[in-house]
Structure 1
Amino acid sequence: MTAERIPHAEDTAPISRIVAEVAAALPGERITLGEMAEAFGDRAFGLLLLLLLLPGLLPGMASVFGLPLLLLGVQMGLGLRVPKLPRILARQSIKRTDLLRLASASSMGLNRIERFIRPRPGFFTGPLGERIIGWLTAYVAIMLILPGPGTNGPPAFGNIVMALGLIEHDSKVTGWGVGLTVAGCIFATLVLGLLGWLGMEAVQRLF
């Protein structure tokens, strides 16, 4: 079933409520990524990134959304203005109850961030800035896909701030998100690198 377009929801509702409103407007027990992309209209990239990143803050859920997040990041990095999901990804879905739970769990933190968000044109609202956001998102997706203790949260949180700035065309908040994302990715890369080195050392000792 085709998703119902939500008239001006992205312009009138706080970001922290958009997830719940979209979940309420889309029919069915499960909501597909394709339905969400259509419902979000011209803010599909930012809002899809936000929805795919929120599970990165919860244990055991991040890797499930890593591949579609990687695809969206690469598309943004290449300069696409509208996301193009292949059918196999467009059909991937999330339970309505899980989506609402994510929105509820994150609403307090998002409300705090929203107080500082407003449309502010700048470098990160331009084409080059959006490409940088895309490639950083792709790197975050790789960090979410790779297993590692504590490596999901820091990059995902920074990327969420980036996504919020992208949705509201706020270059300043997006810049904060870029800084947080880079720091989170450095941390995750170091942890994964250390784990890889320890694993190789253990294998060499065994043989």
Structure 2
Amino acid sequence: MSPEGLHAEDTAPISRIVAEVAAAFPGERISLGEMAEAFGDRAFGMLLLLLLLPGLLPGMASVFGTPLLILGVQMGLGLTVPKLPGILARQTIKRSDLLRLASASSKGLGRIERYVKPRPGFFTSPLGERIIGWLTAYVAIMLILPGPGTNGPPAFGNIVMALGLIEHDSRVTGWGVALTVLGCVFATAVLGVLGWLGVKALGWMI
């Protein structure tokens, strides 16, 4: 099946779309640029989802933080299709890892996916998508900065936000925005406390 054929599967569960994209590219590795082309008008949402899911794993978040930051800024600036820099477009993921990711997402996100359906509203508007972009950029910063327990909460909210974005569901996207804001507040507070303790410790040493 060609990548173009995936565009017609607009009602397919997200995990199934991910699996079909992996099947569309028979090579051992798939580049982010190829996936962006395969996802079509869902490219932003699907790339966010693919970059955020590994971010829930310990030690993996910072690896995906930079491309997530770039995508978030592009959305925030109003781009409707991602423009990946060459160095990022050439970055690849193992096809086997992508298939495992699809399987894991179908188990972990299946319940949420059942509630996702096209529902126009504020968060499906250009302004709403810009807000999603800037929130995603902030989440990316939280993923890049080291901190105990600061990756999961904002990443989970951003995953829900991405699910709503993919299916053009303003309600689910709104839930994701709320969860993302709460997660970012928590992560920012933890990093703030760690920074304050670091400054105090440095003062004691001096």
Q: TM-score, normalised by structure 1?
A: 0.95
Give the conservation status (yes or no) of the 8 Å contact 2:6–2:20.
no
Conserved? CA contact 1:6–1:25, under 8 Å: no
Matching of residues 138-153 of structure 1 within 5 Å: 138-153=137-152
Q: Which residue of 2 aligns with 1:171?
A: 170
Q: Could you list the runs of 5+ residues in structure 2 that have no partner in the other structure? A: none
Q: Secondary structure at the match of 1:7?
A: helix
- Report the more deviating stretch, 197-206 or 126-135: 197-206
* Aligned-CA RMSD value: 1.3
User: 1:94 aligns to what SS in structure 2?
Assistant: strand
| CA–CA separation in structure 1 for the residues paired with 2:8 and 2:187 | 35
Structure 1: runs of 5+ lacking an equivalent: none
Matched residue SS, 1:151? coil
What is the aligned partner in structure 1 of residue 125 from structure 2? 126
Shift in Å at residue 106 of structure 1? 2.3
Kindly tell me: are residues 87 and 163 of structure 1, through their superposed partners in 2, closer, same or farther at Cα, counting changes over 3 Å? same
Write the distance in 2 (CA, Å) between the matches of 1:127 and 1:26.
32
Structure 2 SS opposite 1:191:
helix
Local SS of the residue matching 2:78: coil
Residue 186 of structure 2: aligned partner: 187
Q: AA paired with 1:174?
A: T
Q: Which residue of 2 aligns with 1:162?
A: 161
Question: Which stretch of structure 1 is more off in the superposition, 183-192 or 25-34?
Answer: 25-34
Offset at residue 34 of structure 1 (A): 0.3
Letter in 2 for 1:137: T
Moved over 4 A (4+): none
Q: Give, in angstroms, the shift of residue 9 of structure 1.
A: 5.2
State the AA in 1 paired with 2:13. P
Number of positions where the alignment pairs a residue of Structure 1 with one of Structure 2 = 205
The more displaced of 22-31 and 60-69 is 22-31
* Distance of 2:134 and 2:23 partners within structure 1: 32
1:90-131 superposed Cα distances (whole Å, 9 cap, x missing partner): 011111222222222221221100111111100000010000
**Structure 2 equivalent of residue 112 of structure 1:** 111
Alpha-carbon shift at residue 143 of structure 1 (Å): 0.5
The answer to which of 170-179 and 12-21 deviates more is 12-21
| 1:9-35 deviations in Å (ceiling 9; x for gaps) | 541421122212211211321111101
Bigger mean CA deviation after superposition, 18-27 or 31-40: 18-27
Taking the aligned partners of 1:118 and 1:39, their CA distance within structure 2 comes to 21
Deviation, structure 1 residue 149: 0.9
Partner of 1:16: 15
Aligned partners of 1:62, 1:163: CA distance in 2, in Å?
17
